[in-house]
Amino acid sequence: MTSVVELHDITKSFGGVSALKGVSFEVRAGEVHALLGENGAGKSTLIRIIAGSHIPDRGEIRVGGELVRFSSPRDARRRGIATVYQELLLFPDLSVAENIFLGNAPRTRLGAIDWTAIRAKARALLDDLESPDLDVDAKVGGLSVANRQRVEIAKALSQNPRVLIMDEPTASLAQADVERLMAVVRRLRERGVAVIYVSHRLQEIFELADRVTVLRDGSYIGTRAIGEVTESTLVSMMVGRSIDQLFPKSEAPRGRTLLEVRNLAYRRAFREVSFSVRQGEILGFAGLVGSGRTEVALTLFGITPATSGEIRVDGEPVTISSPRRARDLGIAYIPEDRGQQGLIRSQTIRENLSLAILDHLSRAYFVDLSKEAAHAREAIEHFGIRARGPEMTVRQLSGGNQQKVVLAKWLGAEPRILVMDEPTRGIDVGAKAEIHALMSRLAGQGLAIVMISSELPEVLGMSDRVLVMSRGRVVATFDRAEATPDAVGAAMTRASPEEGVA
Amino acid sequence: MDTALETGMVVRRTRRLGRFVDAYGQELVVTAALLVLMAVAGTVNRRFLSETNLTSLFSGNAYVAVAAIGMSMVIISGNIDVSVGSLIGVLATISGTLAVKGYPIWFAWLFPVLVGVVVDAFIGVLVAYARIPAIVVTLGFLSILKGGLISATQGAWIANLPPGFFIAQFRVLGVPSPVYFAAVLTILAALWMRYSALGRAIYAVGGNGDAARAVGIRTKPMVVFIFALNGFFAGIAAILFGTQLQVIQSTVPPNLELNVITASVIGGVSILGGTGTVVGSSLAAVLFAAISSSLIFLNVSAYWLRAVLGLMILATVLADMARRRRIG
């Protein structure tokens, strides 16, 4: 089999920081080649070089055996390389069909845009992606993440690419959509397209990939056929050491009930939600994206105060009308989107860490800088945040380390109840294991933890009890022992609570 | 001395220097530009460095620096105020009118400051609670204030002001009072923004409003408060502006809001919010006062001034973007 794209000895640095050091990579027609590595390993840089948006400092790129130099993404596209980026680059106010053909719309003989052809071709592409339900005239802004991604894939396929690069395509998809996506990828492979597939999820890579290339710290570690490797060899290739346990769950002694919720509702987002969490307990929320789990978290934290129902904290009925009130009640919230709600990316680690506890760090109105710096140094050490020091701005950190800053910030406020929404999304395996270990330790210290996760292994691995939501309601609750992948997975797609399930 | 130890100390010192440069890069650039400019202009024309010229340069533009303090806070919080020039014109006119009508001089100084606070707090309410973007609200106020002022006064000159009124002409130890106002207010504001919890919150609101709200900062009252502070600084600026000559023209000084915004941006305040310092913006106000003065001394047409300022804004923003890209 011949290589479609071949990279040889690629080196790239940004302002003195080297991102890739002599990396070689090749992908063949009709294979799915997974690209694996921790955040900051150089995966994004590598795919951006293949896609023509970065120009390598050194090294060769060959497409179909011919030496090429890309000076823009346009050059790469012309050579048959298409990319679906993680952050979807679509225009929300344009229709599905317009988005797919923007920039290379078919023309009529008179040079006008051929709308009939656009709509027909868009329809054909989407049908091909098993999305006959997606309306080509719908505005993209109103679509779900999964549908927007299909539009993005259709856009890439509209150019008949020889190589399709997919950057973490499943990062924000629910399980059912992940499966649909994988079916599409398999079909492309059968058609002879070379797929470069970047993902953190090892399970997917084993199901989908033919070969896997691992990068670490900008260096090439190796390429293996998928049959030759196991999960643990891949992990140790990625992190350079072996990780004992991805889900270090320990039994914590249960104390009194800290959070109790009865018939909680917020507008039409969710209703009749009841549950309780005790000290030392981790309650996992499973469900599809859009099932109302995040909305429950936002209500518990006072961002969208409950429209009906009762919340008790430590036995006392409370009204949580604002995040400030929630904070004062000892509730901390680690949001799903840390860039959006968790961090001030332009500020330093020190400033971010002290935001929630400025009152404690202040003396007579002014912030005590030495106390603040000491707090920051302590947190960096305690949470294993890999940084040059407290004065580093947060945007310079990797995803995993940013997440540790969010955690450290909230734990500095000494909460009793911790609500975590997708605590390890987009984080590499090493940091993931560290965050899981931290969760176990916190539960051991008597915190009550509510964890929302779309990764079933995480929910099952870390929770003492699993609560399943579907369409804005709680449809099932399982104890740790009863929570099998099959049972929880089946409950996730159930429409209404089943009789007899506690 | 132990060489290893010595190298260690040098490394530590340079690292600390590097951090200092990272944190105060723009302030250092502006200061350096100011010193170079004064050296060049002073070499070409001795009179540029004469006491008379320097005094008039600093004291005549101190009001821009004062207004830029408030503007910087507004921009750091992720907002903007394009109505500040009109507000300063209105407040200076109010002040002069009160003084001429025989109100006590302290009242003619104080009342406009209060009006500034109230007007800008109202702007803040519209921005925070009615959720109208600041640029829209303040564009509206620019027209309202400017139009209202011209209709009410026809741009008349206010003369016969009482002798004790001219606070900007007072001197202490030979230095004109506006210099003290600008320096003291800048230092106080800088300390407050760096060390107080409330000052920190301004950066947090501008850096990421959602995250700021999530840690319990009351972002809406915060925005109203920041605008009210901006009104306070506009009020002080108006008094300094209105009392520097013997007469006040009841009109809006042309391009004043642009000068104030330019000072903030050249001083290193990111137009996107979240970063910058008031020390930088005050230094930048001095810098471009010096530029405008030096152009005269170097016999360059005053029309070049705006072009030079425009180039400086672009250079600053490019440098800022380059720095961000480097940091990643």
Nearest CA in chain A to B203: A347
Per residue in A247-274, pLDDT (tens digit) is 888 888 888 999 999 999 998 889 999 9
Does B10 map to a domain? no
CB contact under 8 A, B197 and A365: yes
Task: Give me the residue label for tokens 């868009």.
Answer: A122
Contact residues for A257 (Cβ-Cβ < 8 A; gap 6+)? A276, A277, A278, A315
pLDDT band (50, 70, 90) for residue A370: confident
pLDDT band (50, 70, 90) for residue B185: very high
Nearest CA in chain B to A321: B216
Lowest mean pLDDT among A4-18, A352-366, B295-309: B295-309
Does B244 map to a domain? yes
Q: Is A396 on the interface with B (CB under 8 A)?
A: yes
DSSP state of A89: -
pLDDT of amino acid B13: 52
- For residues A24 and B185, what is the distance between their CA atoms, to the nearest angstrom? 59
H helices present in A112-245, as ranges: 115-128, 145-157, 175-190, 202-208, 231-239
pLDDT of amino acid A426: 72
Task: Quickly list DSSP for A429-484.
Answer: HHHHHHHHHHHHHHHHTT-EEEEE-S-HHHHHHH-SEEEEEETTEEEEEEETTT--
Nearest CA in chain A to B273: A346
Q: How far does B20 lie from chain A, in Å, by closest CA?
A: 11
**Pick from A303, A343, A369: CB nearest B208:** A343
**Pick from A326, A344, A396: CB nearest B204:** A344
Q: How many residues does chain B have?
A: 328
CB atoms within 10 A of CB A110: 6
A217 torsion bin: left (phi>0), alpha (psi -120 to 50), beta (else) = left
Whether pLDDT at A128 is above 80: yes
CB atoms within 10 A of CB B161: 21
CB contact under 8 A, B274 and A346: yes
**Pick from A327, A346, A354: CB nearest B275:** A346
Q: Is A3 on the interface with B (CB under 8 A)?
A: no
CB contact under 8 A, B195 and A367: yes
Give contacts of A412 with chain B, Cβ < 8 Å. none
Nearest CA in chain B to A364: B196
Kindly state the average pLDDT of the residues A108-120: 84
Secondary structure element (H or E) that encloses residue A258, with its range: strand A257-266
pLDDT band (50, 70, 90) for residue B2: very low
**Pick from A15, A324, A391: CB nearest B326:** A15
pLDDT band (50, 70, 90) for residue B18: low
Segments forming the whole domain that contains residue B80: 26-327
pLDDT of amino acid B325: 61
Whether pLDDT at B56 is above 90: no
Of A175-184, A369-378, B68-77, the range with the highest mean pLDDT is B68-77
DSSP state of A306: -
Kindly state the average pLDDT of the residues A438-459: 91
Across-strand partners of A20? A12
- What residues of chain A, 288 to 307, have a C-beta less than 8 Å from chain B? 301, 303
CB contact under 8 A, B204 and A347: yes
CATH of A243-330+415-502, one of 3.40.190.10, 3.40.50.300, 2.60.120.10, 2.40.160.40: 3.40.50.300
Kindly state the average pLDDT of the residues B137-162: 91
Whether pLDDT at B131 is above 60: yes
CB contact under 8 A, B211 and A328: no
Tokens of A295: 């909305």
pLDDT of amino acid A17: 67
CB contact under 8 A, A351 and B200: yes
Does B279 map to a domain? yes
Domains A3-239 and A243-330+415-502 equal at CATH topology level: yes
Judge whether A301 and A380 are in contact, CB under 8 Å.
no
Whether pLDDT at B67 is above 50: yes
Give contacts of A347 with chain B, Cβ < 8 Å. 203-204, 207, 274
Task: Give me the residue label for tokens 């870390």.
Answer: A462
- For residues A110 and A113, what is the distance between their CA atoms, to the nearest angstrom? 9
Whether pLDDT at B6 is above 70: no
| Average pLDDT across chain B, whole number | 86
Q: How far does A286 lie from chain B, in Å, by closest CA?
A: 24
Kindly state the average pLDDT of the residues A18-45: 88
Give which of B26, B195, B208 to mutate to test A binding, by max A Cβ within 10 Å.
B208
Q: Is A356 on the interface with B (CB under 8 A)?
A: yes
Give contacts of B207 with chain A, Cβ < 8 Å. 344-347
Q: How far does B131 lie from chain A, in Å, by closest CA?
A: 17
Q: Is A321 on the interface with B (CB under 8 A)?
A: no
Q: Is A327 on the interface with B (CB under 8 A)?
A: yes
Whether pLDDT at B9 is above 60: no
pLDDT of amino acid B126: 97
Number of domains comprising chain B: 1
- For residues A492 and A292, what is the distance between their CA atoms, to the nearest angstrom? 12
Nearest CA in chain A to B270: A346
Judge whether B142 and B82 are in contact, CB under 8 Å.
yes
Q: Is A344 on the interface with B (CB under 8 A)?
A: yes
Kindly state the average pLDDT of the residues B295-310: 78
Mapped onto helix, strand or coil, the DSSP state of residue A316 is: strand
Does B20 map to a domain? no
Kindly state the average pLDDT of the residues A29-51: 88
Contact residues for A316 (Cβ-Cβ < 8 A; gap 6+)? none
Q: Is A64 on the interface with B (CB under 8 A)?
A: no
Give contacts of A391 with chain B, Cβ < 8 Å. 19, 22-23
CB contact under 8 A, B274 and A393: no
Judge whether A410 and A332 are in contact, CB under 8 Å.
yes
**Pick from A366, A391, A396: CB nearest B196:** A366
Q: Is A15 on the interface with B (CB under 8 A)?
A: yes
CB contact under 8 A, B215 and A396: no
Per residue in A152-176, pLDDT (tens digit) is 889 888 888 999 999 888 877 777 7
CB contact under 8 A, A340 and B211: yes
Q: What CATH code is carried by the domain that includes residue B264? A: 1.10.3470
pLDDT of amino acid B3: 47
pLDDT band (50, 70, 90) for residue A500: very low
Compute the half-sphere exposure of residue B12: CA atoms within 13 Å on the CB side of its CA: 6
pLDDT band (50, 70, 90) for residue B308: confident
Of B26-30, B59-63, B236-240, B241-245, the range with the highest mean pLDDT is B236-240
Give which of A341, A350, A375 to mutate to test B binding, by max B Cβ within 10 Å.
A341
Nearest CA in chain A to B323: A15
- For residues A58 and A49, what is the distance between their CA atoms, to the nearest angstrom? 11
A3-239 placed in CATH 3.30.56.10: no
Handedness of CA B210, B216, B221, B224 (dihedral sign): negative
Nearest CA in chain A to B204: A344
CB contact under 8 A, B274 and A328: no
> How far are the Cα atoms of A155, A205, A289 from residue A90, in angstroms, in the given order?
10, 27, 21
DSSP state of A329: T
Give contacts of A328 with chain B, Cβ < 8 Å. 216
pLDDT band (50, 70, 90) for residue A501: very low
**Pick from B207, B325, B326: CB nearest A347:** B207
pLDDT of amino acid A498: 55
Kindly state the average pLDDT of the residues A280-289: 90
Kindly state the average pLDDT of the residues B80-100: 95
Judge whether B274 and A346 are in contact, CB under 8 Å.
yes
Give contacts of B200 with chain A, Cβ < 8 Å. 351, 354-355, 358, 367
Q: Is A40 on the interface with B (CB under 8 A)?
A: no
| Angle, CA of A449, A450 and A455, to the nearest 5° | 115
Nearest CA in chain B to A366: B196
pLDDT of amino acid B17: 61
pLDDT of amino acid B298: 77
pLDDT band (50, 70, 90) for residue A209: very high
CB atoms within 10 A of CB B208: 25
Contact residues for A491 (Cβ-Cβ < 8 A; gap 6+)? A286, A468, A470, A475, A476, A478, A498
pLDDT of amino acid A350: 92
Share of chain A above pLDDT 90, in %: 41
**Pick from B196, B207, B211: CB nearest A367:** B196
CB contact under 8 A, B203 and A351: yes
CB contact under 8 A, B214 and A335: yes
| Average pLDDT across chain A, whole number | 87
pLDDT of amino acid A201: 78
**Pick from B23, B214, B275: CB nearest A323:** B214
Per residue in A402-427, pLDDT (tens digit) is 888 999 999 988 999 999 999 888 77
Whether pLDDT at A40 is above 80: no
pLDDT of amino acid A248: 80
Mapped onto helix, strand or coil, the DSSP state of residue A88 is: coil
CB contact under 8 A, A409 and B215: yes
Cut 0.80: pTM above it:
no
Does B9 map to a domain? no
| Angle, CA of A197, A199 and A203, to the nearest 5° | 105
pLDDT band (50, 70, 90) for residue B328: very low
Nearest CA in chain A to B194: A367
- For residues A178 and A208, what is the distance between their CA atoms, to the nearest angstrom? 11
Kindly state the average pLDDT of the residues A118-141: 87
**Pick from A301, A324, A355: CB nearest B218:** A324
Judge whether A137 and A56 are in contact, CB under 8 Å.
no
CB contact under 8 A, B208 and A356: no
Q: Could you tell me the residue ranges of all domains in chain A?
A: 3-239, 243-330+415-502, 345-411
